[in-house]
Structure 1
């Protein structure tokens, strides 16, 4: 399900101050892009998690780790991704990602 259709989606989160960006997030990103048939939801989640870790975008990481689990990635695969990226994206980024992962993966 696209993030925009969930409680707390972009329109609800920041539609009052950035309605255009909220709309693009829901309609294009979580609509057209995430619902495309060229990649599976699982693959999209793995790519997204890797991209967020590589750029140090940990604020968005918690949501996408949860979504990755919903899309079929195991906790072991997610931790393996973070470990692998430590050598390609940088140790500090991987350690920051582990801090987020510990919270998300141990919550359930």
Structure 2
């Protein structure tokens, strides 16, 4: 491995640790028996993109929540990243507002589905929000 790949992998591990709940298994470990190469790409991608200084992790997580909500069909990843956004410093109101933005560009069903995921995560984290 080159030094650059070692650094991005290490950064990917750091980013995952910052976003994940305690005890969560990193995706590169969860799929190691099926596709270690894809797992390595996920770890390096987290380090290469999510750790860049141009946006803070909170902002990147809110953007990720919006993208996953707009895509639809990504509920497990959305659940992880709603929690990650909260752990990165976003407020429950900011998460809900970000998902509300999805309605305008990706449609009502996608926003509703995402809000249901967020509702579950927010309930697990404490206070709920209305708005």
TM-score, normalising length from structure 1? 0.89
The residue number in structure 2 matching 1:42 is 58
How far residue 11 of structure 1 moved from its aligned partner, in angstroms, is: 2.2
For the residues of structure 1 that align with 2:17 and 2:46, how far apart are their CA atoms? Answer: 7
Root-mean-square deviation (CA, aligned residues, Å) is 1.7
* Residue of structure 2 equivalent to 1:17: 34
Q: 1:4 to 1:107 in 2, by over 3 A?
A: closer
Indicate if the aligned counterparts of 1:11 and 1:23 stay in contact, CA closer than 8 A.
yes
Which residue of structure 2 lines up, in the alignment, with residue 60 of structure 1?
Answer: 77
Q: Is contact 1:3–1:10 with CA below 8 Å preserved after alignment?
A: no
User: Take 1:3 and 1:68, find their aligned partners in 2: how far apart are those partners?
Assistant: 12
Deviation beyond 4 Å, 4+ runs, structure 1: none
Deviation at 1:31, TM superposition (A): 1.3
Judge conservation of contact 1:82–1:97 (CA < 8 Å) in 2.
yes
Equivalent runs, 1:1-108 vs 2, <5 Å: 1-3=14-16, 7-26=24-43, 28-56=44-72, 57-108=74-125
**Unaligned segments of structure 1, at least 5 residues:** none
Per-residue deviation, 1:43:
1.3
Contact 1:41/1:71 (8 A) holds in 2:
yes
Of 3-12 and 44-53, more deviation after overlay is shown by 3-12
The separation in 2 between residues aligned to 1:23 and 1:87, in whole angstroms, is 35
Moved more, 50-59 or 98-107: 50-59
Aligned residues, how many? 107
Helix, strand or coil at the partner of 1:8: coil
